[in-house]
Structure 1
Amino acid sequence: MRIHGAEAPMGSDSSQVKHWMTQDPHTCHKEDSLADARDLMAEHRCRRLPVVDDNGHLTGIVSFGDLRQAAPSSVTTLSLFEINYFWAKLPVSDAMTADPVTVAPDSSIDIACRLMLDYSIGGLPVVVERKVVGIFTTTDVLRFIVEQST
């Protein structure tokens, strides 16, 4: 797990990730099925879920894109029953990104944005001592920009 920004010089208080992140995001476990992860994303209208262990420590992240890549091709010969069985049996661990890039709550927005650009990712788990306390996404970046311009 790579935590960035803890030692970086911080801008004004409002430019810290903790003021813009989604606190206590929905999470899943690596043993959960892809169907469970997909349903949780749909229910809560989110595109990524931090994957945690039983102690709440971050072990990975799974995105909607990861689920799409793990899904059978749209030109498959599988029946609907077989596709649903596939989604119900395949664990999140087979689709997730292990050891995701993370930030600390006190990291600056600049650092978080640089990481998202450098790693071509749309969101960063926000962690304190390996525990997920939030998630910072491109939507949060847009909210920050709009607030700063008004």
Structure 2
Amino acid sequence: MFQVKNIMTKDVFTLNQHDSLSAAKDLMNLARIRHIPIVDDAGRFAGLLTHRDILAATISELAGIDRETQDEIEAGIPITEIMQTDVVTVSPDLSLKEAARLLLEEKYGCLPVVCDATLCGIITEADFLRLTIDLMDAVEPEE
């Protein structure tokens, strides 16, 4: 049986719950990701910050605030103020079918993978797309 641990991303970009909105925006832009698992000082999973959460917390350019002031404000907003804490997590032993069902039916963009309360990976829609491409490569004849 295919399990989450077979395709999950193990080297996950994370932030600490004490980091700022500014740090989260920088990480998302640099790493080109849409989900950041948040961990506490002991590495335990504490929550999730999504691109949508950041957009909701960011001051609109229409507010007429200059970039420098906006950066100062965002540097002072702790992630704990905007992160989601009621996040569904999964075990690395969960079947891929069940993980896919959760993503699809609940409209989640990712599922943090937790081992004994510690973040050990993340599975995203992109992981399933990679799997789909690999499977198609395996069954399609070479041209």
Q: TM-score, normalised by structure 2?
A: 0.89
| Partner of residue 51, structure 2 | 64
Q: Distance in 2 between matches of 1:56 and 1:103?
A: 16
1:123 aligns with 2:110: yes
Taking the aligned partners of 2:64 and 2:106, their CA distance within structure 1 comes to 35
Equivalent residue of 1:103, what SS? Answer: coil
Q: CA RMSD in A?
A: 1.3
Q: Once the two structures are aligned, what percentage of the paired residues are identical?
A: 36
Please give the per-residue CA displacement for 1:2-60, whole angstroms capped at 9, x wherever unaligned.
xxxxxxxxxx2xx2111111103111112100111111222222211110111111110
Give the gaps of 5 or more residues in structure 2: 139-143
- The one-letter amino acid of 2:74's match is W
2:73 alignment partner in structure 1:
86
CA distance in structure 1 between the partners assigned to 2:68 and 2:130 by the alignment:
41
TM-score normalised by L of structure 1: 0.85
1:4-83 matches, cutoff 5 A:
12=1, 15-83=2-70
2: CA distance between counterparts of 1:17 and 1:148?
16
Q: Does the CA contact (< 8 Å) of 1:116 and 1:122 recur in 2? A: yes
Q: Which amino acid aligns with 1:59?
A: A
What is the Cα deviation at residue 62 of structure 1? 0.4
Runs of 4 or more consecutive aligned structure 1 residues displaced over 3 Å after TM superposition: none
Larger radius of gyration: 2
Q: Which has the higher helix share?
A: 2
State the number of aligned residues. Answer: 137
Distance 2:41 2:105 in 1: 31
Letter in 1 for 2:111: L
